[in-house]
Amino acid sequence: GAGVSQSPSNKVTEKGKDVELRCDPISGHTALYWYRQSLGQGLEFLIYFQGNSAPDKSGLPSDRFSAERTGGSVSTLTIQRTQQEDSAVYLCASSLEAGGQPQHFGDGTRLSIL
């Protein structure tokens, strides 16, 4: 498949546990974005990896959230000590070039914190 791939598609975990969400962008895409969508809310920006430039981390809601992008390809979003308010669909997107808006979204990871 040529699209953005996210795993797992669903994750249920207990409050206080750590979770890792993975994103495989479209091959060759320079820019990678993480957003989340809570029920009844708009998409909320989390982090933007823009090629070789420093990532824009301004949307990460707390220091429990971190993300990395290894080798300019795969990205992992880590949430430590999860809280119930972290429950949301976490969406990853990629674009061919840095400096633009998210174009191709993955199917998302639905995270539920019990």
Partner 1 sequence: QKEVEQNSGPLSVPEGAIASLNCTYSDRGSQSFFWYRQYSGKSPELIMSIYSNGDKEDGRFTAQLNKASQYVSLLIRDSQPSDSATYLCAASRPYGGSQGNLIFGKGTKLSVKP
Which stretches of the chain bind partner 1, using CB under 8 A?
Answer: 31, 33, 35, 40-45, 48, 50, 56, 58-59, 91, 95, 99-103, 105-108
Identify which of residues 18 and 96 has a Cβ nearer to partner 1 in the complex. Answer: 96
- Sequence length of the chain is 114
Q: How many helices and strands (H and E) does the chain possess? A: 0, 10
Give me the long-range contacts of 85-88 (CB less than 8 A, separation at least 24): 85/113, 86/111, 86/113, 87/38, 87/111, 87/112, 87/113, 88/36, 88/37, 88/38, 88/39, 88/44
Identify which of residues 56 and 72 has a Cβ nearer to partner 1 in the complex. Answer: 56
In angstroms, what is the minimal distance from the CB of 32 to partner 1?
9
In angstroms, what is the minimal distance from the CB of 100 to partner 1?
6
In angstroms, what is the minimal distance from the CB of 80 to partner 1?
23
Identify which of residues 35 and 65 has a Cβ nearer to partner 1 in the complex. Answer: 35
Identify which of residues 59 and 72 has a Cβ nearer to partner 1 in the complex. Answer: 59
- Report strand pairing: 43-50 vs 5-7: unpaired
